[in-house]
Structure 1
Amino acid sequence: MADQAPQAFFERISESRFAPTEHTRGPWDAGSQHAGPPAALLGRALEERPGARGDMRLARVTYEIVRPVPIRPLEVTTTVLRSGRSVELAEAALTPQGEAEPVMFARALRIRTLDEPGPAVAEGPRLPSPGETAETPFFAVPWDVGYHTSMDTRFTEGTFREQGPGTCWMRMRLPLVAGEEVRPLDRVLIAADSGNGISNVLDFGRHVFVNADLTVHLHRHPVGEWVCVEARTSVDPAGIGLADSRLHDEKGPIGRGAQSLFVAPR
C-alpha cells in the first residue's frame, strides 16, 4: 500500500530545510508552488529565527518573487539587517535544493509592542462572517490536489469565476508544517497573495498575470482561523497592474496587502 501523502503544506527536514508537498501546488504550473505557502514559510522563519525578540511584532513584510518557487526541498536562511530598541529589520531567503541563488526573499519590519496597552482606534465596520457565507468553488485547475483544494474559500462579493472586485474569507485546511501548530501569521501570509486571483479584472484564459512581489502591512495581530481578503485590481494599458487588498479577521480590519503585476496577452 502506498504511503499516504502528508497532510500539510510542508514537511520539516531539518531546522532550516523543508520539503513542499503537493498541497503547495499553484493553479498554473504543476511543478511550481502558489506563492502563499512559501510566503507563510518565510514569515514563520522571521518570527522563529534564533534571537528573535518576543516583545516585537511583524508590522510589515515585503516579498520579492524572483521566479516561481519549485516543488522541491528548500533551504531557508535569515539575516538581521538592523536591530534597534524599538525597530528591527530582518531578511529571509528561500533557495531550492541544488541551486545557488534564492528564488524568493522576504524583508520584514518588526516593531516593539507596548508593555501596557495604549489607545486603540477602530477602522470601519466588520464584514459578513464566514459562517454566513457558503463555500465558493475555485476556478478550473488541471490537477486534483494543490493550493486550490487546501484552502477553504467563501466569497461575500464576487467569485473566482467572475471578473471584478472580490471579497473572500480564507481558511487553511492543513497546517503549514507537518506536526507543528498553525500560527496566526501563517493564516494571513498564506492568504494575502491571493488578492489578484480574488479580484481578477481580465480573463485568465486570455491574459497572463505575473505577481512580482507582495507587501503586507499589519496594524493588529490576527486572531481566529479565518482571514478575509477584500481585493481590487487596477491595470494600466502599459501592462502594469496593482492588486490592493484590505485584510480582515472576524473581529475587523487587521491591515493591507499589495501586489505589483505584469499583465500581457497570452
Structure 2
Amino acid sequence: MGAAEGFFERIDTGRFLATAYTRGPWDERSQHAGPPAALLGRAVEERDGARADMRIARITYEILRPVPIGELEVTTSVVRAGRGTEVVEAALAPAGAAPVMLARALRIRVAPQALPAVAPGPQLPPPGEVAETPFELPWETGYHTAMETRFAAGAFLEPGPGTCWMRMRVPLIVGEETRPLDRVLVAADSGNGISAVLDFGRYVFVNGDLSVHLHRHPVGEWACVEARTSLDAAGIGLADARLHDEKGSIGRSVQSLFVAPR
C-alpha cells in the first residue's frame, strides 16, 4: 500500500483511512500507537460543542488490541461537563468492528488571569544541536520514516534511558493543519522504544495503555521524550517520560508494559 502524505486520510466526518506511515515496529499490518493517539486527541478537541476556553490537561488511552492499518471510525461523548472541568471519551474502531483503542480526556478551563511565571527547569540541548538518528525496520514505509528523530542521550538500540527530539515529517491528516498537540501525542507513545532496558531482538514490549499529562500547551514543531523504563522480573514494566518542547518542560507520559521473551 502506498502512503499518502500524512498518517491518515479523512473519508468524512469521523471516518479515516490509515496510511502506511502509521505502521509500527512489531507488525507490518498494525499501527504504532502514536498516530491513533493523536487522532483521538484531535477528536476530543474538535468535537461538536467543544469549549474553546478549555484544553486537555490529561488524556489516558487503553490499547485494547493492535490497531489495524485501514479504515477507522472515531466517536466521542461527554462523560461529565462542569464549569471548570469536563471529561470526554473517544473511541477508535475498524469499520463495522469493536473499538481497538479508547481515550478518556480531562479538559480544564484556561484561567483568564495571568499567573506568576514558574521556571521551566533544566533546558535540554535543542534539536538543532543534535544529529539526526534514523531508525531502520524491515519495511520501507512506516512511523519510523514519518518521524524525524534526534537523540540528545541514548539511542534506539542502546539499552537504558534515552532522550529523543521528534518531529513529524507528514501531517496527521492529509490536507489539514498539524497542531502542536498532535505533535506531542504522536511522539508520547515512543517512551519505551526510546528507553528499552532489554534487547528488542530477544524480547517483545507491549504497552496496554498510555497516559499523557500536560501542564503547559505545547508550541512549535518539535517534541522531546526524555524516558526511563523500569522492569520487574515478572514481566511487568513501566516507561516514564518527561515531555518537552523547545521552550522547556510541558508534562509527562507513562506506559504500562507487558514484557516477554520472543
TM-score by length of 2: 0.98
| 1:218-257 pair list within 5 angstroms | 218-257=214-253
Question: What amino acid does structure 2 have at the position aligned with 1:136?
Answer: T
- The answer for the alignment partner of 2:101 in structure 1 is 104
Distance 2:196 2:147 in 1: 18
Conserved? CA contact 1:234–1:243, under 8 Å: yes
Conserved? CA contact 1:137–1:160, under 8 Å: no
Question: What amino acid does structure 1 have at the position aligned with 2:108?
Answer: I
Distance 2:67 2:85 in 1: 30
Could you report, residue by residue, the CA deviation over 1:64-85 in whole angstroms, capped at 9, with x for unpaired residues?
0000100010000000000000
Distance 1:114 1:124 in 2: 22
Gaps of 5+ in 2: none
Distance 2:118 2:26 in 1: 41
Distance 2:3 2:189 in 1: 25
- The answer for the alignment partner of 2:254 in structure 1 is 258
Could you report, residue by residue, the CA deviation over 1:206-227 in whole angstroms, capped at 9, with x for unpaired residues?
1111110000000000000000
How big is the alpha-carbon RMSD for the aligned residues of Structure 1 and Structure 2? 1.0
Shift of 1:117: 1.6
Q: Aligned residue pairs: how many?
A: 262
Distance 2:2 2:75 in 1: 30
Matching of residue 214 in structure 1 with residue 210 in structure 2: yes
- The answer for the alignment partner of 2:155 in structure 1 is 159
Matching of residue 150 in structure 1 with residue 146 in structure 2: yes
Distance 1:4 1:106 in 2: 29
Conserved? CA contact 2:2–2:19, under 8 Å: no
Match of 2:64 among 49, 63, 66: 66
Matching of residue 134 in structure 1 with residue 128 in structure 2: no
Gaps of 5+ in 1: none
Question: What amino acid does structure 1 have at the position aligned with 2:107?
Answer: R
Question: What amino acid does structure 1 have at the position aligned with 2:10?
Answer: R
Q: Higher strand proportion, which one?
A: 2
Runs of 4 or more above 2 Å deviation: none
- The answer for the alignment partner of 2:35 in structure 1 is 37
Distance 1:188 1:123 in 2: 17
| 1:151-190 pair list within 5 angstroms | 151-190=147-186
- The answer for the alignment partner of 1:119 in structure 2 is 116
Shift of 1:97: 1.2
Question: What amino acid does structure 1 have at the position aligned with 2:189?
Answer: D
Distance 1:35 1:123 in 2: 28
Could you report, residue by residue, the CA deviation over 1:33-66 in whole angstroms, capped at 9, with x for unpaired residues?
0000000000000000000000001000000000
Match of 2:189 among 173, 189, 193: 193
Matching of residue 54 in structure 1 with residue 26 in structure 2: no
Distance 1:137 1:14 in 2: 34
Distance 1:164 1:114 in 2: 39
Deviates more, 1:45-54 or 1:118-127: 118-127
- The answer for the alignment partner of 2:76 in structure 1 is 78
Shift of 1:27: 1.1
Shift of 1:12: 0.2
Question: What amino acid does structure 2 have at the position aligned with 1:127?
Answer: L
Change (3 A) 1:5 1:33: closer
Shift of 1:116: 2.0
